[in-house]
A and B are shown apart, each in its own frame.
Chain A
Amino acid sequence: MSEAAKLARLAEEPYYLPLADEVAVFRSAYEARLPVLLKGPTGCGKTRFVEHMAWRLYRDTQNPGAELEVPLVTISCHEDLTATDMVGRFLLQGDSTIWSDGPLTRAVRTGAICYLDEIVEARKDTTVLIHSLTDHRRLLPIEKTGELVPAHPGFLLVISYNPGYQSVLKDLKTSTRQRFVSLTFDYPDREREAEIIAHESDVEPAVAERLAALGEKVRNLREHGFEEGVSTRLLIYAAQLIERGIPSRRAVDAAVVQAVSDDATVQQAIADIVDAVLP
């Protein structure tokens, strides 16, 4: 099996450190086929959590989708993403056209988990499209072919969004939000974040602890042009650079200081915090 196929198949367990009862809630939601909404800031582990859950759920031979090649279909939403991109389109072939399923339709037919990342970024028509998949009907209407696709028993819809940085205009519609079981994520506390950083980058625990302490302090400045604070992902990037021999201050400068803000004063303040927190 190629590396890409292994990744798509989720052959190995994606690492995820549970912070509360999210694993149990997600499992129960899946068993009842209740769609799930994940809320939380960028880089706090939402996508990793879905991968981890897909791995857990689809390794169970009782799961209707256990033999799937691709148990998790992820769609990263953006403002040009249309319903066509998700459902499918007619492609030209010679003088005729053939229908090609989009990723959402593929997941609905095969029984995979379909994960719509940052759903509010997508155009409004796409959010309405998923409504019939989220209630008792579990149907996907394909307007262009006139087909009504019933969802495979293994199918589940998971969406995520980030309430922090969205403007009022980009908030998720109530009619959409109220169709999901919601799980709220935030950055882990210092100890657990250090554990995650150490696991993901193989740096010494002491280095991971310092990076986690740094994350905690920098997040105190969330309101200054970077509402998200620094993500666990960025701290892991810094740790990976350090692990490969880049001096710690330089690594943090590249992965954190320059990444979280373009404002010179805020950058200066973060660099000062780095200077104090790192040995």
Chain B
Amino acid sequence: MTALVDVEEPLALFAEGITGRYYHIKAVGEYSGNRMVFDPARGALTGDALLLPETFEMDDPACYRVLALEQLSIVEFGTLKFSMAEARLRIPALEPPGEPPITDRASDLERFFNHVSRPHLLSRLFALCERVRLNAQVRDQYPGIRRHQDALHAVLRQSAPRGDTSSVAAILDGLGYRVLGGRNAALESHPLAGALLELMLGVARLDADVFDSARAAHACYRLCMASAATAEAGAVLEEDLDDAASWLQRDVRLEDWEEGLKQMNGLILAAETAEGEEAVAADVEGLSDGDIRPADVDLRALSNERDVLARRLDMERATIRDAVGRPRPDARSYRYDEWDYLNRSYRTRWCRLFEERLAPDTQQDLDALRHVIRRHRRAVQSQLEHIKPQGYQRVTRVADGDELDFNAVIEARGDIRAGLTPDERVYSRRERVHRDVCAAFLVDLSASTDDPVDPPEAVAAGAVEELANLRDPYEFPVAHDEPAEEPRRIIDVQRESMLVMSAALEQLADSYGIYGFSGYGRECVEFFVAKEPDEPFTRGTLSAIAGMKPKRSTRMGPAIRHATSKLLRSGHALKVLIILSDGFPQDSDYGPERGDHEYGVQDTAKALREAEEKGVETFCVTVDRSGHDYLKRMCPNARYMVIEETRDLPGALSKVYEALTG
């Protein structure tokens, strides 16, 4: 027996290597959609995930690679390239085309199935033919997989119906059994079943494509319909037509529609610009208002078309989301253990963590952010000044340099006198000193960071001075009449602290990453990346930090474990993890009882200790004034700080940073 969680990570890399894109590896049980129909023993492919059985009754983990390859082959070998237009050209027997209504959002595969009177039968026959074709391609392109596939199919055959010739449904079972490599002599000698088999196996050619499968399926369908046994053909296949390939084709099509919408927006923008210019020209020419120009009509038609497409896109996206579950195409997922202090053991690969880029806040005024940096910069920088490397140090005994190294010169002269070959490295030179530090800042983005900072902050003395200087002294009293600003929230202060710290660390030339975390439940821990250590600080980083928003819960353990693994990969000598939070760790299923925080505290404590054991210095900074209580138990060697006054956060952070890396 092999469990999916045990092979998830290498399997995700395997799938990425095969296809060139990332797929989340999920157990069939994690499927959160409502409509897609698939065989849970074989799994399915969606736009962003590979769904596979939770366990498989083979001891060889290669079974999962075969299942993965069989699913991925749908994309690699062109099942999704099926189009009704080309099918009509390639398969003369298809019924004449009827133009689909604009509201029809069915995929081409669905339209192919639906164009006959018994769509389920055609769908099933197509699935069989296409599987035969794909298997032939997989076995040719991945010859090493053949023996594993044979072994897997042998296992699958044990539970698959062998089929017989009693009905069309039984014959189809028999064909499925044949696809798995099983032989059924009775089937082969039966007139209908034999003919179907011959058509189906005929697409096991390397030059066959999806249209050949469609042609074979269509021919099989006609044979079935012509046979006497067909009366019950439709009735026996009652299941929904929502097969995974059709949904995948709809998912892939979304990208084309998005591209179309983008192009249309570009056209409209160009037309609007041209119209604006014309309006100016019309004023000059003295044309009266209300004259309709052809350009107006075009623009209106174009706008309507755009709106229709946009609505269609939204509806389709919502439909797919409902059918196959919430997609996370831009995230990568990882699994982490969790410490169960009640049982004194790890729950292996218990949590799924999604890592994705923080969506930048493009609405935010970047100048306001820069102002925040300026306001705190002096204090923070003077703090970090102490740990700034003192420029250069002199290295002696080098072959090239700006000064002679007298000790080396004397030795060399001595060697020459003694008839020995002297060492040529008689110089010294100044070399820049580098700090080999990598820091990760992990910011709690739980919903509670939306709370206002309490009590409301007094404006810092320095800031008042700066504001006063900017204002005209005569207008200053008017400023008191301005409406009160929105109360500042914990997230605002956290965000500002990150801005100030990143500006200061840029000066120090240390590597640092800025991350946020939140999530809901063990299957959905979210880890957001604002900046990776090897990326430069850009405008994009500013807007990513500005995009830090309060989200959901605080499952700290997996986030700490993930940040630790990132730090370990950075390869720097000194690795520092600083966590900013506003309260104790909590999540919907973080512990046996709701309201009991001890489980979360203990798991976080364990994650912090694991980091320390791996050579990562950790520190927790919290704005939760009752934090002393649990932080004492949570943080190793009392490495924590409770900030009494929230506005002190940037200054406190720089102190912590200095202490950890100085």
Residues in B neighbouring A128, C-beta threshold 8 A: none
Interface hit among B8-16, B163-171, B187-195, B466-474: B8-16
> Is A220 touching B422 in the complex (CB atoms < 8 A)?
no
> Is B17 touching A220 in the complex (CB atoms < 8 A)?
yes
Residues in B neighbouring A277, C-beta threshold 8 A: 141-144
In Å, the complex CA distance between A83 and B20 comes to 43
> Is A221 touching B13 in the complex (CB atoms < 8 A)?
yes
- Confirm or deny: A278 has a beta carbon within 8 angstroms of a beta carbon on chain B: yes
- Confirm or deny: B19 has a beta carbon within 8 angstroms of a beta carbon on chain A: yes
> Is B142 touching A276 in the complex (CB atoms < 8 A)?
yes
Given known contacts A92-B422, A95-B416, A278-B143, A269 and B399 CB-to-CB distance under 8 angstroms: no
In Å, the complex CA distance between A62 and B138 comes to 55
In Å, the complex CA distance between A167 and B69 comes to 36
> Is A217 touching B18 in the complex (CB atoms < 8 A)?
yes
B residues engaging A (CB < 8 A)? 9-11, 13-14, 16-20, 62, 65, 69, 141-145, 399-400, 412, 416, 422, 424, 534, 536, 569
Among candidates A85, A91, A269, A278, residue contacting B10 with C-beta atoms closer than 8 Å: A269
Nearest-CB distance from B405 to chain A (Å)? 15
In Å, the complex CA distance between A208 and B20 comes to 21
> Is B10 touching A272 in the complex (CB atoms < 8 A)?
yes
Residues in A neighbouring B141, C-beta threshold 8 A: 213, 277
Residues in B neighbouring A269, C-beta threshold 8 A: 10-11, 13-14, 17
> Is A265 touching B13 in the complex (CB atoms < 8 A)?
yes
Nearest-CB distance from A214 to chain B (Å)? 9
Residues in A neighbouring B536, C-beta threshold 8 A: 168
Nearest-CB distance from B538 to chain A (Å)? 11
Other A-B pairs, 8, CB within 8 Å; known A269-B14, A277-B143: A95-B416, A217-B17, A265-B10, A268-B13, A269-B10, A269-B17, A270-B17, A277-B141
Among candidates A85, A95, A218, A225, residue contacting B569 with C-beta atoms closer than 8 Å: A225
> Is A221 touching B416 in the complex (CB atoms < 8 A)?
no
Residues in A neighbouring B65, C-beta threshold 8 A: 272, 275-276
- Confirm or deny: A19 has a beta carbon within 8 angstroms of a beta carbon on chain B: no
Q: Which of B13, B145, B536 has the most CB of A within 10 A?
A: B13
In Å, the complex CA distance between A238 and B217 comes to 43
Among candidates B16, B62, B144, B569, residue contacting A221 with C-beta atoms closer than 8 Å: B16
Residues in A neighbouring B9, C-beta threshold 8 A: 265
25 of the cross-chain contacts (CB-CB < 8 Å) are: A84-B399, A84-B400, A85-B400, A89-B399, A89-B424, A92-B412, A92-B416, A92-B422, A95-B416, A168-B534, A221-B13, A224-B13, A225-B569, A265-B13, A266-B13, A272-B11, A273-B18, A275-B145, A276-B14, A276-B18, A276-B144, A277-B141, A277-B142, A278-B143, A279-B144
Nearest-CB distance from B16 to chain A (Å)? 6
- Confirm or deny: A274 has a beta carbon within 8 angstroms of a beta carbon on chain B: yes
In Å, the complex CA distance between A217 and B21 comes to 11
Against B, the Cβ 8 Å flags (1 = close, 0 = not) of A245-279 are 00000000000000000000110111011111111
In Å, the complex CA distance between A85 and B65 comes to 52
Smallest CB-CB A-B distances: 5 pairs = A269-B13, A279-B143, A84-B400, A82-B400, A220-B20
In Å, the complex CA distance between A92 and B569 comes to 47
